[in-house]
A and B are shown apart, each in its own frame.
Chain A
Amino acid sequence: MIEVRNLTKHYGPIAAINNVSFGVERGEVVGFLGPNGAGKSTTMRILSCFMPASSGSAKVAGYDVFSQSMEVRRRIGYLPENVPLYSDMRVAPYLDFVAEVKGIGRSERRRRVAEVMDRCLIADVQNRLIGRLSKGYRQRVGIAQAIVSDPEVLILDEPTLGLDPKQITEIRSLIKSLAGRHTVILSTHILPEVSMVCSAGRAVLPDGARPSPGGGPTRRGQRRDRPDPGRAARRAAGDERRRRDVRGGGPAEPRREVGDLPARGRPEVDAARTAA
């Protein structure tokens, strides 16, 4: 459903992502795991056709995000980080607008909007201004907006960011309920979220990103451009530390850490990641 090959994106001299490759099968719910600055949002913006990659290719639902962007855009629902919605619109008219822009006919639209409001538990606030909603409700409106056209693929960028624990639980169960109907890729910097939400606990790491703090893209980019002899040693030490962070110690090949995470982990998972 999603096929990403050697995706690289430069902002000026800085590489936000470098040679990222992974694949997502139909019907999977996949977590895209990485610390802040790892390039998760960048990757998702490319997948959602908001901006192009510097090099590499990405296909969504069989269409190239750059050369066949309209086809891709017809088949995705996207929730950007920070959930940008029109504060001055009311919930139901907003969803109706999104459905109309996504090409759903008038009669169908009423039904769909009512349906997603039920699924996302926002029917009770349908006449409220979006700007007056709590963060949890806003998030659900954001998800409703993504699924209102019943897209094949959902791209959710940090859908639990900034929520309180109760809201986080609610959003996670909402996303779980989407599994089966859509192929979902969601980004997160919270490791356990992957096992809680994703099918088979599958996770893909942006290249070079690790589930522990540090490792911003600037440094990563520079490391790649200018290989230095001390790097391997530092990296090994870093890996050791990270393994402890993630699994509470014990030697393991770092590439496996993701696949090992949840009990139901799939071994081929991490093959998705570019070789370090």
Chain B
Amino acid sequence: MKIWPIFKKEMLLYFTSPVAYVVFTIFLLIVGYFFYSIFAFFTVASMQAAMNPAMGRDLNVTDGVMRPLFSEERKSGTIELLLTYPVRDGAVLVAKYLAALTLYALMLFLTLLYPAIVAYFARLELGPLVTGYLGLVLMGGAFLAVGVLASSLTENQIVAAVSTFGVLLLFWIIGWSADNAGGVLGKVLAHLSIIDHYDGFAKGVIDTRDLIYYVNFIALALFLTLRSLESRRWNG
């Protein structure tokens, strides 16, 4: 599997084009704002509170990260070269996904600045911080997987971004209707909700069901992406 060279190329492209810097800056500003408002209003810096709005930021940022994934390659035609090199479609996909995930993880890493500031003024609970970040990586990973899928389906980056947003929003608000539905349906909906699975992480609890949910979610989205890449080989 020639994942490494493609991974390197993706990272190189992230950092030679303005993408990474723009996304980083926006991300940090938004996180900083949330953090500031929480810090200022409650004065008690509870990581749990800071972690929840983190979800809101993810939506805006993930489409910046996944933008260059497949839509861009389709639009510029470079995909025709990439997919005729002696590399399996799956390797291309994994490399691209890992690159996006790495960029996202780097951004999360930068946000550690904020808890660090808090820790300077107050005692910080390490447990929820660590699990909270793990949860953010998983949830962001799920968002990115949807982004990869959307970007493989269309060469229009706007369409890709909007449909990603739509799908994620759907999985997000499913949780709300779960509360109203109640009963078995409510349970099923709650299980599908991408947000509900995050709650545990924010509270410092790692539940295997949540882990499995995110891993399955990512695997399914990547599997569908692979199919969509391969589909050009079917319609002969």
- A residues engaging B (CB < 8 A)? 9, 45, 48-55, 70, 73-74, 76, 78, 80, 82, 84-90, 93, 97-98, 100-103, 129, 145
Contacts and interface: CB of A to CB of B under 8 A. Distances in A.
A264 B72 CA distance: 45
A101 B87 contact: yes
A73 B84 contact: yes
Interface of B: 2, 5-6, 8-9, 12-13, 16-17, 76-81, 83-88, 232-234, 236
Contacts of B236: 9, 51-55
Given A50-B83, A97-B5, A97-B9, A82 B233 contact: no
B8 A97 contact: yes
A93 B80 contact: no
26 contacts: A45-B80, A48-B84, A52-B233, A73-B84, A74-B86, A78-B81, A80-B80, A80-B81, A82-B77, A84-B80, A85-B78, A86-B9, A86-B13, A86-B78, A88-B13, A89-B13, A93-B12, A98-B85, A100-B2, A100-B5, A101-B5, A101-B85, A101-B86, A102-B86, A103-B2, A129-B16
Nearest to B236: A52
Contact of B16 (A70, A76, A89, A98): A89
A184 to B, nearest CB: 16
Given A88-B17, A89-B12, A101-B5, A51 B78 contact: no
A145 B232 CA distance: 24
Contact of A101 (B2, B77, B234): B2
Contacts of B17: 88
Given A80-B81, A86-B78, 19 more contacts: A45-B80, A48-B84, A50-B83, A50-B232, A51-B232, A52-B234, A53-B236, A54-B236, A74-B86, A76-B84, A80-B80, A84-B80, A86-B13, A89-B9, A89-B12, A97-B8, A101-B85, A101-B87, A102-B86
A50 B85 contact: no
B6 A101 contact: yes
Nearest to A98: B85
A107 to B, nearest CB: 15
Contacts of B84: 48-50, 73, 76, 78
Contacts of A84: 76-81
A78 B81 CA distance: 7
Given A85-B78, A88-B13, A102 B233 contact: no
Contacts of B83: 50
B169 to A, nearest CB: 31
Nearest to A142: B81
B89 to A, nearest CB: 11
Contacts of A145: 81
